Amino acid sequence: MVQKFGGTSVGDPERLKAVARRLVAARESGLQVVGVLSAMGKVTDDLIALSHEVSPLPEPRELDMILSVGERISCALAAMAINDLGHRAISLTGSQAGIVTDTSHGKAKIVDIRAHRIHEALEADQIVLVAGFQGVSTDFEVTTLGRGGSDLTAVALAAALDADVCEIFTDVEGVFTADPRIVPEARKLAVVSYEEMLELSASGGKVLMLRSVEFARNHGVRIHVRSSFNDAEGTLVTSQEELMEQPIISGIAHDVSEAEITILGVPDRPGIAAAVFRKLADESVNVDMIVQNVSAEGHTDISFTVPKSELARIDPVIEEVAAEVGARGVQQDSEIAKISLVGAGMKSHPGVAADMFDALAEAGINIGIISTSSIRISCVVPAREVERAVRVVHDKFRLSESVVLAEEG
């Protein structure tokens, strides 16, 4: 079994001792156990802040070196606690555990798991603790996997070790129909498909890192999301084939981390969109929602959303591309939010979009950009209205009630 514990779960010495007891209990049940630990509490944030106090633009290699420390501390402390409980444990860095990545500092991708040392430790009846969020590149440099990367570490190890299940312990009891802090009556889901979890994670859901869900789907790793603070059953993330019931809607996600950019008055001619988005792609800008409107005068407005954190970096790029395509100007709006309705059942249930838009209209909430997939409907709303928007849509689809089947019989 692979068990991953997030920053809140290991936030102080007492919580670390509780994690040690949980790992020991799993071992005493007869399982071989690998634990993946995040940094304690806000340690990673503190290390980032410290780095920026020293350097306004820290060099990526050195930033990875310092950020990898937090998880190592957690693992070493947990190993000490396990040894005090009468079991043998060993803590490993990402590189010692054989996690090999590409050379992209800060957002490295796992390319291989060489788990020889983990296998040896398990065969020696040890509980293995692996520092999450990190690995070693093909150039033998320390790398980090990006925010939430410990989830990816755990899932990748579960795949490499052919684990029965990958348990992700966090500060919530599972995946809910909406953020319980916004919708207190939100319902915990017993099971959700990989595809639905991918859409929820990509749309602002904070329970699982998007890349970890992609890896789980591609390698058939079943994820059990659970609370560190009780023994309640959580949410199983698995293949669509394992779902006994097919809900119309599984949940609502919201995201306040994006900004909207509009390139105004672009001459309407072939190739304009290609020119705009090729330039952004060359700068590694992550564009999300896109809409293009053509006016009666023959000009085009192109609107799209990007991460707010990227605005300062891409401002010159946007101005440059706007000038190249002959735009009349550029507008930015950072006070937006995105809400997304996700459910595999909407494939065979018409009218979901209309119901969602009706709910927002009845609440007097304006809608901006709209985008869809086969199991997701997303729209932009004013940031000040996002919590109310989530609540009215949640109420509209009665998501606090028992599962509704898209197809019965």
257 in Cβ contact with 307 (< 8 Å): yes
Query: What is the CB neighbour count within 10 angstroms for residue 298?
Result: 9
- Within 10 Å of residue 366's Cβ, how many Cβ atoms? 11
Return d(Cα 55, Cα 63) in angstroms, integer. Answer: 10
Show pLDDT as tens, one digit a residue, over the chain (409 residues): 999 999 999 999 999 999 999 999 999 999 999 999 999 999 999 999 999 999 999 999 999 999 999 999 999 999 999 999 999 999 999 999 999 999 999 999 999 999 999 999 999 999 999 999 999 999 999 999 998 999 999 999 999 999 988 999 998 899 999 999 999 999 999 999 999 999 999 999 989 999 999 999 999 999 999 999 999 999 999 998 777 666 789 999 999 999 999 999 988 888 888 888 998 898 888 899 999 888 767 788 999 999 998 888 889 999 999 998 889 999 999 999 999 999 988 887 889 999 999 999 999 999 999 999 999 999 999 999 999 999 999 999 999 986 544 444 3
pTM: 0.89
Give the start-to-end residue ranges of the domains of the chain: 2-171, 260-325
Question: Token digits for 42?
Answer: 């806000």
Q: Of the candidates 112, 78, 105, 85, which has an alpha carbon nearest to the alpha carbon of residue 4? A: 78
CA distance 361 to 340: 16
The predicted pLDDT at position 240 comes to 81
Query: Do 2-171 and 260-325 have matching folds?
Result: no
CA 390, CA 95: separation in Å to the nearest integer? 42
For the domain covering 2-171, report its CATH number: 3.40.1160.10
Tally Cβ neighbours within 10 Å of residue 382.
16
Residue 322 has phi, psi (to 5 degrees) of -65, -40
- Determine the Cα–Cα distance for residues 260 and 304; give it in Å rounded to an integer: 6
Residues 196, 375: contact at Cβ < 8 Å?
A: yes
Structure confidence at residue 408 (pLDDT) = 42
Residues in contact with 369: Cβ distance below 8 Å, sequence separation at least 6, in sequence order: 260, 289, 290, 291, 303, 304, 305, 379, 380
| Placement of tokens 């009215």 in the chain | 392
Q: Tell me what pLDDT residue 225 has.
A: 97
Tens of pLDDT along 368-399?
A: 999 999 999 999 999 999 999 999 999 999 99
The confidence score (pLDDT) of residue 298 equals 75
Q: 260-325 adopts what CATH topology? A: Alpha-Beta Plaits (3.30.70)
Per-residue pLDDT of 79-103, as tens digits, reads 999 999 999 999 999 999 999 999 9
Q: How far is CA 217 from the centre of its chain?
A: 14
